Structure 1
Amino acid sequence: MTLNILFAATEARWPQYEAPLHRALEAEGITDYRLATEMPAEEVDYIVYAPNSDLQDFTPYTRTKAVLNLWAGVEGIVGNRTLTQPLCRMVDSGLKEGMVEWVTGQVLRHHLGIDEVLARQSGEWRPSVPPLARNRPVGVLGLGELGAACAGALAALNFPVAGWSRTEKHIPGITCHHGAEGLKTVLAGSQIVVLLLPLTGATENILDADALSRLPEGAVIVNPGRGALIEDEALLAGLDAGHLGHATLDVFRQEPLPADHPFWRHPKITVSPHVASETRPETAAEVVARNIRRGEAGEPFLHLVDRGAGY
């Protein structure tokens, strides 16, 4: 029987994904299939999905075996009560590589004081030598696929890296902490903090006024995770008081970030327009096709979302 695969993302994504999906499906040995942006709901076997698509009611998709998310984050869909089918998040090698490159670049930017160097291009010769990486402790909050990869890359550059996750993790070369006390320990010892946590009820506003006060004076925050991980007002207060040195933010509670938002004008905030990393069609299509093949073979799906945990 022909396999029916519905592509349910924004219209602009279809031309980007159509050819890579066909190539990936055929590479997995799937040849008798139909891939389209429209088809009767009762005939759909798999949904390739983006949470910002028009499809929000999964009730009619009674034959669907899995919803395969194109995004790493699932907070926009995991709470949908009509979604009873298995949900798989995107763990994509291209997305991981892009995130490692962005995070490493931003951490090195702050570590080396590149902003200050650029600001001093006035003809005045004022040498300022940064410390070695081994003397600049970095904290990574979130040790999933992306967090672990970034922590590993930073450790390879000789930064002392402490990681934190809600549950216990063991990653070679990384000092791992978990739980409430572990979070306090990581914050207190980190001159640069990178946020790569999923957004759940337990992580929203995890960097509130109390958490931010535990950071060393002059600490820098790099957030390519989710905007709501940080309490905006507390961040602004910490920067204005001089306790925090800078915040480089790639994600926000509202996107695009409104033109009148105070983040745009703050001298200690760098606004990055959600470009830290993105799912790459070529590599993401391979993950989708692999999961479809596994589903048809009766094998467990990869990257299955735990609805209770929210990721």
Structure 2
Amino acid sequence: MKRLAVSADGPAAWESWRDAFARVAPDLPTISWFDPAFDPADASYALVWEPPVGEMARMANMRVILSTGAGVNHLVNRPDFPADVPLVRMGGDQTAVLMADYVMWAAIGLLRGARRWARDQEKHLWCNRPILRNSAETRVGVLGFGNLGAAVARRLAATGFIVSAWCRTPREEKQIPLFFGEEGLSDFLPSVDILVNLLPSTPHTRHIIDAELLSRLKPGADFINVGRGDHVVEDDLLAALASGQLDSAVLDVVATEPLSAESPLWDHPRITLTPHMASEASREAQAAYVAHVIRELEEGRAPPLLYRPDRGY
């Protein structure tokens, strides 16, 4: 049965999801996962974000589970996750454009010292700071060249930044110079002025942004994290900022979310924090993507953002 059961964001969000699907995919039958009359056997697909404990076990007979997030570690690492059911990550054009917009905003802000301007304004200081370089003189290095990493790298390059990217395995790419593997990482890092992290979270990438990696960047480089919070050793990040190895950082993700009130990240003068919203697409855009994925599956095609356990993303 081609029917979608919506669990994402809990029962209070059901009406907004229902209305979004009615607008963009009126031919797709949907039902609230939390409807007392709902039986999981009556649906082939489930849309989830953070289901209540135990709920994913009830999805064991689903054809496919779809996540409203690009990251799915919070799902696959749960004991109730039905490992035999395929899982599809969130994607779509709006998600990629939003991520590219965010990174462009962050890169320009770092380049022009926007954080310092904001702090000067709070203190009523009229301080004309010199601009040391422009975008055409700034190399942005993107860690990760998947769906979002590629969109970000190409947008930055089109705007005039010098762009390169690193990924684990070789692939074909005509627009952006790519580096591969550990040897490539050693060649990639030293020339980077702004490092953008868009890696997936896997056992190989957790805590990859540590003191050793940061020490290989150009002294005074900047850092943007829009990947995962567990990529970064936060004490090492703070130490790199204190030593001047890093000049500034923009963090959309942190290890523990929401960030604790006691975290030193809140008040650091050279850290800009945003609440994990870099590429959160609209309800309509997410619904349209989900409907497109379901059409692909009904036609026997595998969607490109199908979770691969062997890769960890």
- Could you tell me the TM-score, scaled by structure 1's length? 0.90
1:56 to partner: Cα distance: 4.3
Distance 1:9 1:147 in 2: 25
1:255-283 per-position Cα deviation (integer Å, ceiling 9, x unaligned)? 11001011112222222221212132111
Of 170-179 and 219-228, more deviation after overlay is shown by 170-179
- Counterpart in 1 of 2:67? 69
- Counterpart in 2 of 1:86? 86
Of 190-199 and 70-79, more deviation after overlay is shown by 70-79
1:108-139 per-position Cα deviation (integer Å, ceiling 9, x unaligned)? 11112233445556676746234231211111
- Counterpart in 2 of 1:8? 7
- Counterpart in 2 of 1:37? 33
1:231 aligns with 2:238: no
1:146 to partner: Cα distance: 0.9
Distance 1:305 1:278 in 2: 19
1:232-254 per-position Cα deviation (integer Å, ceiling 9, x unaligned)? 11111111112210111111111
Instruction: Identify if the C-alpha distance between structure 1 residues 242 and 82 changes in structure 2 by more than 3 Å, giving closer, same or farther.
Output: same
1:97 to partner: Cα distance: 1.4
- Could you tell me the TM-score, scaled by structure 2's length? 0.90
1:138-191 per-position Cα deviation (integer Å, ceiling 9, x unaligned)? 111111111111111111121111101111233333111110121122221101
What letter corresponds to residue 154 of structure 1 in structure 2?
L
1:293 to partner: Cα distance: 2.2
Distance 2:119 2:92 in 1: 37
RMSD: 2.1
Distance 1:276 1:36 in 2: 27
1:299 to partner: Cα distance: 3.0
More relative contact order, 1 or 2 (CA 8 Å, 6+ apart): 1
1:169–1:177: 8 Å Cα contact kept in structure 2? no
Distance 1:43 1:263 in 2: 47
Instruction: Identify if the C-alpha distance between structure 1 residues 117 and 264 changes in structure 2 by more than 3 Å, giving closer, same or farther.
Output: closer
> Equivalent of 1:155, from 154, 157, 162?
157
1:184–1:211: 8 Å Cα contact kept in structure 2? no
- Counterpart in 2 of 1:115? 115
1:148–1:171: 8 Å Cα contact kept in structure 2? no
Distance 2:22 2:210 in 1: 45
Of 209-218 and 168-177, more deviation after overlay is shown by 168-177
Structure 2, unmatched stretches of 5+, are none
**Which secondary structure state, in structure 2, belongs to the residue aligned with residue 161 of structure 1?**
strand
1:45-70 per-position Cα deviation (integer Å, ceiling 9, x unaligned)? 111111x1216454444541111111
Distance 1:76 1:251 in 2: 14
2:6–2:14: 8 Å Cα contact kept in structure 1? yes
Distance 1:211 1:125 in 2: 34
1:42–1:62: 8 Å Cα contact kept in structure 2? no
Structure 1, unmatched stretches of 5+, are none
1:72 to partner: Cα distance: 0.8
Number of aligned residue pairs: give it: 305
Report sequence identity in percent: 32
Instruction: Identify if the C-alpha distance between structure 1 residues 294 and 212 changes in structure 2 by more than 3 Å, giving closer, same or farther.
Output: same
- Counterpart in 2 of 1:190? 192
**Which secondary structure state, in structure 2, belongs to the residue aligned with residue 77 of structure 1?**
helix
2:220–2:246: 8 Å Cα contact kept in structure 1? yes
2:9–2:48: 8 Å Cα contact kept in structure 1? no
- Counterpart in 1 of 2:223? 221
What letter corresponds to residue 6 of structure 1 in structure 2?
A
> Equivalent of 1:54, from 30, 52, 55?
52
